[in-house]
Structure 1
Amino acid sequence: MQTGILLAFAAYLSFALGDATLKAIGHRLPVFEVGFFISLIALLPALFTKRPEDSWASVFVPKRPALLAVRMASGTIGGILGVVAFTSLPLAEAYALIFLLPIFVTVFSYVVLKEEIGWRRWLAVLGGLLGVILVVRPGFREILPGHFAAVGVAICGAVTVIVLRVLGTSERRVTLIGAVLVAAVAANGLLMLTEFVMPTRELWPLLVFGGLVVGVAHLLLVFATRLASAARVAPTQYSQIIWATVMGAMFFEEFPDVVAMAGMALVAVSGLFTFVREKEKTDWPEKTPLLRNR
C-alpha cells in the first residue's frame, strides 16, 4: 500500500509537470493544436496500462458505449478548457478552481444519483466556495476567461466521476484512458485545421515532454491503484497544489499572497473532507476506477 501511495504522488507530480508545460507553451500555439499534440504523445505510454490478459480487440470494444461516449466528451472538453486555464492563470490559482471538482460531485450526486447528502458535506461545499472567493476575489481582481475555463474543467471532471460511478468496473481502465485520449486527438485535430501553426524548433521539446509526462502519469496512477485502494490514493491529488505553487515560483515568478494561500488551503481541506465523507457514506472506492478526471 505504501508503494501504491508513493506511485500516486509521483503520478500527480507528473500531471503537474504536464500542466506547467502547458503554461510554458502559453499562447505560442493555438489551444486545439496544443491539445492535439499533447494527447497524441500521451497515448504512447498510456497504452501500457493494458493488462496482459486483455486482447487489443477487447480493449477497443466498450461494454457500455453510450456512457463511454459521455466520458470521452467530458474528458475532451475538460482537456481543452484545461489548456485555456493553465495558459491564462497562475498554476496554483488554476488548481484551486479545478479542485472545486468534489463540490460539483456532491451536488451532482444529490441531483442525479439521488444520494443523501448530510449537513457536513454541504458545509464542505460552502467552505470550498469560500476558498475560491478568497483566491479569485471577484470585484477586487480582474476575472479572466481562464477562471471560467478552470471552473468548466471542474464541472467536466465531476460529470466524469458520476459517469464512472455508473460504469463501475465494467470497462477496462486502458479503454477508459485510451478512449479519452483518442477522442481528444480526433476533436483537437479537426478543430486545429483552420488555424494550424507549425510548431517552432523550441516548442517541440515542450510538446513531447508534456505529452510523455501526462502519459506516464496515467500509467503510474493505474499501477498505484493496483497496489492501494482508490480511497487511499485519492487524497494524494491535492499534492498538485503544492507542486503548482513551487513550480509557479521557480519557473514563472508566481507568488500567491497570504489570502490566496489561505483560500487554496480551504479548498483543499473542503475537498479532502468531501472524499472522506463519501468514503464513509458511499461505496465509490469500489465502483469508481480512479483516473485523472479532467
Structure 2
Amino acid sequence: MSTTTSSSVIRGPLIALLGYFVFSTHDAIVKSLENYSVFQTIFFAMLFGYVPFSLARITDKRLTTLRPNNPALVILRSALMVGAMCFAFIAFSILPMVQVYVLLFTTPVMISLLAIPILGEKIHFQRWTAIILGLIGVIIVLRPTPESLEWGHIFSLISAFCGASASIISRKIGNQESSATLILFPLLFNVLIAGATLYFVYKPMPFNDLMAMFAVGVLGLLGQLLVLNSYRLSPAAFVAPMQYSQLIWAVLFGFIFFNESIDQWVVVGSIITIASGVMIVWREAVASKTQPNLNTPNPRITMDDGSLPNPPD
C-alpha cells in the first residue's frame, strides 16, 4: 500500500469520527428543542441548512429531466425518509439519547432482512449470525415488558425501519434515476409536509431557539459533508463502523446536558448491537468490493445519490 493510500485510509475514518460528532451535537440540539413540534424543527432545519445547498448541488449538475422514471418508488422513498426523520426526532424528545441510538443502529439488520424478499439477496451464515446478534442486542436494551416499553422505543424502531426501507429502494432504483431526482423529491416532501403543518403547530420562538434551529440545519449539512467525504477517501469497511462513536457522545451529552444515566443492560445491549452492525458492514464491504449502502443510522436528508467514487484500493 502506497503512502498516499495509507494516509487516505487513516484520514477517512478520522473525518468520519468528526462527522459523527457533529451529528451527535445536531441530535442533542434537537432533543433540547423538545418543546416544539418536530415539524417546526424540521421545517426550519431544512430552510436554514439543506435547501440552499441541495438546490446549488442540483443546479451544478447537467440536468436532462426531473421527471422520475419510477414515480411510485421515488414518492415512497421520499415519504419514508420524512417518516424516518420525524419518528427519530420524536424519539429523541422522549428517550435518553443512547437508547435512541442503539435502536437506530438496527438499520443495517433491517436492510439485510428487507433485501431478502425485495432484492432477492441471499443471506449467508455470517450475516445471519450478525442479524440474530442485533436482535438479541435490541431485546436486551428494551427488556420488553408492559412497564419498560415506551412510545419512544417504538418510534425509534419505526424510524429505523423507514430508513432501512428507503435504503432498499435506493438500491433498487439508484441507477435508473437522476441525482437531482433523488435529492430534490425528499427535500420537497420534508419542506411541504412540515410547512403544511406549521400553521397548526407553530410556536413563537425566542432568538436563542431560532438560532438553535439554524444550528440544527447547518450541523446536519456539515455532518453529511464530512461523512460523505470520508467515504470518498477510504473504504467503507473502515469508515462505516465509526458511526458507533455516537454512543460515546450520547452518553456524555446525556449526562452533561440532560441528566441522563444508563444501566448495565443498555451497555451490554449496545455492545452486542455494535458488534452486529460491524459484522454486517464488513461482510458487505468485503463481499462486494464496493461501498455498502448502509448509511449513518441517524435519519436525515441523504445527499448520497449513489454517485460517490470508489475509494483508493
Cα 1:215–1:283 change in 2 (3 A) is: same
Name the counterpart of 1:122. 128
Q: Cα 1:65–1:164, aligned 2, differ >3 Å: closer, same or farther?
A: same
Q: Mark the CA change 1:201 to 1:49 in structure 2 (over 3 Å): closer, same or farther.
A: closer
CA distance, structure 2, for counterparts of residue 59 and residue 225 of structure 1: 28
Aligned to 2:12: 4
Instruction: Provide the residue aligned with 2:84 in structure 1.
Output: 78
Q: CA deviation digits over 1:155-209, x for unaligned, max 9?
A: 0111122122123455566654454233211111112322322223331121111
1:203 aligned to 204, 209, 213, which one? Answer: 209
**Distance across 1 between alignment mates of 2:236 and 2:175:** 12
- In structure 1, what is the equivalent of residue 41 of structure 2? 34
Count of residues in correspondence between the two structures: 291
CA distance in 2: counterparts of 1:70 and 1:246, whole angstroms: 36
Residues of 2 paired with 1:11 and 1:176: CA distance? 22
- Unmatched 5+ stretches in structure 1: none
Q: Give the structure 2 partner of residue 112 of structure 1.
A: 118
Correspondence 1:21 to 2:21: no
- The separation in 1 between residues aligned to 2:139 and 2:204, in whole angstroms, is 39
Q: Which consecutive unaligned segments of at least 5 residues does structure 2 have?
A: 1-7, 300-313
In the alignment, is the contact (CA less than 8 A) between 1:128 and 1:266 conserved in 2? yes
- Using the alignment, how far apart are the partners of 2:28 and 2:101 within structure 1? 11
Q: 1:291 to 1:258 in 2, by over 3 A?
A: closer
**How big is each residue's C-alpha offset from its partner over 1:234-288, in whole Å with a ceiling of 9 and x where there is no partner?**
22211111221121112112121111111111111111111112223446627x4
Q: Please, what is the CA RMSD of the aligned residues?
A: 2.7
How many Å separate the matches in 1 of 2:241 and 2:151?
Answer: 28
User: Matched residues, percent identical?
Assistant: 30
- Give the C-alpha shift of residue 140 in structure 1: 7.5
Partners of 1:175 and 1:46 in 2: CA distance: 15
Partner amino acid for 2:168?
I
Q: Residue 31 and residue 168 in structure 1: after superposition, are their counterparts in 2 closer, same or farther (change >3 A)?
A: closer
**TM-score, length of structure 1 as denominator length:** 0.88
Alpha-carbon separation, structure 2, partners of 1:52 and 1:86: 34
Cα distance, 1:24 vs structure 2: 0.7
* Contact 2:66/2:180 (<8 A) preserved: no
TM-score (norm 2): 0.83
SS at match of 2:279: helix
